[in-house]
Amino acid sequence: MSNANLYTVLASGFPADRSQIALETPELLYTWDDIDHASACLANLLTSLNLPEGSRVAVQVEKSPEALLLYLATLRAGLVYLPLNTAYRESEISYFLGDAEPAVVVCSSKNLSWVSKAAAQAGTAHVYTLDEDRTGTLLHAAAGQSRSFKDVVRKADDLAAILYTSGTTGRSKGAMLSHGNLASNAQVLHRYWGWRSDDVLLHMLPIFHVHGLFVASHGALLAGARMIWLPKLDVEQALHYLPRCTVMMGVPTYYVRLLAEARFNRKVCARMRLFISGSAPLLMETFNDFRERTGQSILERYGMSETVMLTSNPYDAADGERRGGTVGKALPGVQVRVVDDNGVEQGAGDIGNVQVRGPNVFSGYWRMPEKTREEFTSDGWFRTGDVGRWGGESGGAAVPDDYLSIVGRSKDLIISGGYNVYPKEIELIIDEMPGVMESAVIGVPHPDFGEAVVAVVVAREGAALDVAAMQAELKSRIANFKVPKQLHLIDQLPRNTMGKVQKNVLRESYKTA
């Protein structure tokens, strides 16, 4: 029986000469042998813990090569990887650990005191630290382990990772992705985007979400291609490394920030063959400005935590043009449909709900069978919550009928700088604050983040609210990217005849605020 372990699949693409460079940071070089040996040491450590089948390894650490190695080791050991955004605060982490009950938690040493408290409450037996300078108890514990490891045999539908995505009710859900979900998507993208072993990927994305962890890293690993591994988006560093790179991935903010730098030009991009954007809508203006500045068209694709990648603009000109304002065609093997509220498929040009099916689509939400049932149709299509259209027009020109455009969302979601923010989660916290009667959280256009979070709050009669104190309270409780950039006090929220808050009216009122 062949092994469907995702690491085994990715490693099938590593070059025969393992002394070549796999990963480069500004300070260090890691060969393919280093990736193999170091992930083996970590996998041996995890295996030595004798954890039950399906145990979760929850990780909230700064980006480093070792953080990637820990992910690969978790796959190799057949355990389930659970990445957590480094911006999450204590109450958010307590929720995730309480819900997922991981057997192992790895955190930054600066957060050890509060993370270990949350881990103890969740019944986690093993807590390690890992810092970006290759220190911490995890590497110490792994140091004596063997440098060889036989990947644990996994079936395609065995669980590989859980990715928490926030929900419209304010409660985050863990999307369960299998080895097969991730491997099939990596293989499809490998072919569709023409990955080559001589590619050099500029990797500046965080590695706790689909985009940086799966789409970018898997792409390079499966191709046996080098990654230039930077801790975060840094325009100066990008200008330094881009002339040696061939592929870059980013959320739209990455491209907005590159374009804001006059030194970003054709010469810098001379070796680049592919700029990819996703996770949030790329403005037509950014697509056009980029083409003018560099002579290259950004390839926009669309996906989500529950499904990995779903659609992509063509890479190969033979498959069609890259059309700004669209997310391209369904990827090979992925089925995408646009239906009305009764499930009837819409014709080209008509707007409807986007539903998907395929080997990449997750099996359900962790310990939420009800929620899982709600999000799938009876015939097995996953409801993305996105609203889209086949064909139609974009930028004043007709779009071919097999290109999808995302025109809105049926879920109340804000995407800020590529991070999802569910208004409900923030409204619940604001509503609990003393003196608050009610609140509404909305997204408004923002030149850098695409959308910015704004809160509109109504005070109880006679209560005087202190906006700065409310902001500070929010900052202490939730990840910084969720904290409203502005908080407005208002006498009453606009409501329709059904009593529902009219967020569209608020968005209009505060769009230039």
233 binds, among ligand MLC, ligand AMP, none (CB under 5 to 8 A by kind): ligand MLC
Q: What does 145-164 look like in DSSP terms, one character per residue?
A: S-S--PPPP--TTSEEEEEE
Structure tokens at 228: 């230039």
206 binds, among ligand MLC, ligand AMP, none (CB under 5 to 8 A by kind): ligand MLC
- Give dist(CA 73, CA 64) in Å, integer: 14
| Cα separation values, 214 from 138, 183, 281, 305, 489, Å | 23, 10, 19, 10, 41
Segment interacting with ligand AMP (CB under 6 A) among 6-14, 110-118, 276-284, 429-437: 276-284
| Buried b or exposed e, range 75-84, using 16+ CB within 10 angstroms | bbbbbbbbbb
87 versus 112: smaller Cβ distance to ligand AMP: 87
481 binds, among ligand MLC, ligand AMP, none (CB under 5 to 8 A by kind): ligand MLC
- Give dist(CA 49, CA 195) in Å, integer: 37
240 versus 291: smaller Cβ distance to ligand AMP: 291
Options 129, 305, 353, 439; binder of ligand AMP; rule CB under 6 A: 305
32 versus 195: smaller Cβ distance to ligand MLC: 195
Q: Is 65 in the site for ligand AMP (CB under 6 A)?
A: no
11 versus 82: smaller Cβ distance to ligand MLC: 82
Within 351-390, the residues that bind ligand AMP by CB under 6 A are: 384-386
Strands (E), 143-279: 159-165, 173-178, 200-203, 226-229, 247-250, 274-277
Give the H or E element holding residue 23.
strand 21-24
The alpha-carbon radius of gyration of the chain (Å, integer) is 23
Segment interacting with ligand AMP (CB under 6 A) among 13-21, 242-250, 273-281, 428-436: 273-281
Distance in Å, CB of 82 to ligand AMP, minimum: 15
Residue with tokens 């209560």, as numbered in its chain: 463
Options 85, 165, 410, 509; binder of ligand AMP; rule CB under 6 A: 165
Pair type for strands 404-409 and 382-390: antiparallel
Helices (H), 60-111: 65-76, 90-100
Distance in Å, CB of 283 to ligand AMP, minimum: 10
Q: Is 171 in the site for ligand AMP (CB under 6 A)?
A: no
399 versus 454: smaller Cβ distance to ligand MLC: 454
43 versus 249: smaller Cβ distance to ligand AMP: 249
Q: What's the chain's length in residues?
A: 513
Q: Is 410 in the site for ligand AMP (CB under 6 A)?
A: no
Q: Helices (H) and strands (E) in the chain — how many of each?
A: 15, 27
Structure tokens at 47: 């295996």
Residue nearest to ligand MLC (CB): 417
**Applying CB under 6 A, which residues contact ligand MLC?**
205-206, 209-212, 232-233, 251, 253, 278-279, 303-305, 416-419, 449, 480-481
Options 92, 158, 199, 300; binder of ligand AMP; rule CB under 6 A: 300
Phi, psi at 270, each rounded to 5° = -55, -35
How many residues sit in the footprint of ligand AMP (CB under 6 A)? 19
Residues that bind ligand AMP (CB under 6 A): 165, 210, 278-281, 300, 302-305, 327, 384-386, 406, 409, 415, 420
